[in-house]
Amino acid sequence: MPREHLVSINPATGKTIGTYRVHNEKSVDNAIRNSLKTFEDWRLLSFPKRADLLINIAGQLRKERESLALLATEEMGKPVQQSRDEVEKCAKALEFYAREGANFLANEIVATEARKSYVAFQPLGIILAIMPWNFPYWQVFRAMAPAVMAGNVMLLKHASNVSACALAIEKVLKDAGAPAGLLQTLLIPSSHVERLIDNPAIAAVTLTGSTSAGSKVAEAAGRNLKKCVLELGGSDAYIILEDADMDVAVEIALRGRLVNSGQSCIAAKRFVVVKSVKKEFERRFSEQMKMVTFGDPMDSSNRIGPLARPDLRDQLHEQVLKSIEKGARLVCGGYIPVGAGSYYPATVLTNVKKGMPAYNEELFGPVAAIIEAKDEKDALKIANDSIYGLAGGIISRNINHAENLAAEEFEAGNCYVNDYAHSDPRLPFGGIKQSGYGRELSAFGIREFVNIKTVFVK
């Protein structure tokens, strides 16, 4: 395929479903000019009028929910019901910021010796959004909704394998009546991103992706002294304490590990189990994982669809094999199925220890790592023994005690007690350590890309 094209391949069949011509430098420059022109008017628009548009976009998403869901499933392999749910989640985020955005950005009066002093929040300009393929709609709208409600405009550089989804997002906004420059899709390869960040017209950058990609974007943004928000990888640990309700523990582990076929930065990945209950958890969890079906993502009976690309499936399998070579025991799964599509079965590794890929690295697919801990203190030590710090959880009948551990001792940006991690517009979302910095969603998210300005009137 010529280098001037991006290619979209159906991961369930391996067949090419679309080719897209890369935007040349002139097209990118035109998009930037269009963004700047739109920003001049959009930043002056009242909050109620911005909110009206967000409500319209939410309605348009719901109107096109089925076609958008089918497109995402075809392009990146997500089980189709999860694609439908993702579209609905985007609509709810838009409605949330339409309802709360003006309150989040209202002037904050501060009592000083001045006649009047307050903090005001003003938009920055063009936000460059660099987004991944695993949640092709949600990742975009959770960044876009607060950014545009705050008065910014956005350029979207989506993952190359979901170019059709990226263009569909742009069309949804157009059909909802958005100004042409409010959100524009740039069909460019990753190699062009640094040059785009260097452009003086770009005010700030938000990226969801791998830690390595985040490092490169942070370097470019830092060199240009531009604000950036990074939501990166995770190897989320779930601590199962001695007093855990085992029915609850198994259900949380199953749902948390298999969301989006395991391709989620906040999916449950490492299960740190206190020794006294490890055997029971391993048996019951493995029994459930063995029953999970994988196959055609358009068939709602399949809980796991294909991984998004063959190379990602192969990389995951290599991590499994290397962990086994180092002493992990394979309980179920752990093979590459014969036939078309980048499928991988629900897999459980136990006796996982430090130094194995299943312990140290992010497993981006339906592979669960079970790690034994001597006691609660050891479990927390193991959970925190990671370069990542995105999310995690604690499962225990003693809710007050688990809450205290989650709030005070668990090293992560998001910690859940007796539930698995999920993003919610009402709560801030983001990580620490090599899982990134900055926050999306809630009041914190809408204030990431504004000028927090002191106004002092004597």
**Nearest one of 291, 37, 333, 395 to 182, comparing CA atoms:** 37
Tell me whether residue 415 is one of the annotated catalytic residues: no
Residue corresponding to tokens 């100004």: 179
- Cα 390 from Cα 411, distance rounded (Å): 8
Element at 83 (helix H, strand E)? helix 80-104
Which is the catalytic residue, given 228, 265, 332, 415? Answer: 265
Rounded Cα gap, residues 370 and 377, in angstroms = 17
Q: Is the CB of residue 269 less than 8 Å from the CB of residue 257?
A: yes
Using CA atoms, how far apart are residues 20 and 33, in angstroms rounded to an integer? 22
> Which contiguous run of DSSP H or E holds residue 402?
helix 399-408
Q: Alpha-carbon dihedral of residues 192, 193, 197, 203, nearest 10 degrees?
A: 130
Closest residue by Cα to residue 358 from 371, 345, 377: 371
Residue written as tokens 């025991």?
A: 329
Half-sphere exposure of 371 (CA within 13 A, CB side): 32
Distance CA 30, CA 13 (A): 37
Rounded CA-CA distance 404/422 in Å is 20
DSSP code of residue 134: S
* Annotation marks residue 90 as catalytic: no
**Beta strands 236-240 and 329-332: pairing type?**
unpaired
Kindly name the residue from 170, 231, 376, 440 that is annotated as catalytic: 231
292 in Cβ contact with 332 (< 8 Å): no
Task: State how far the Cα of 75 lies from the Cα of 316, in Å rounded to an integer.
Answer: 20
Active site residues: 231, 265
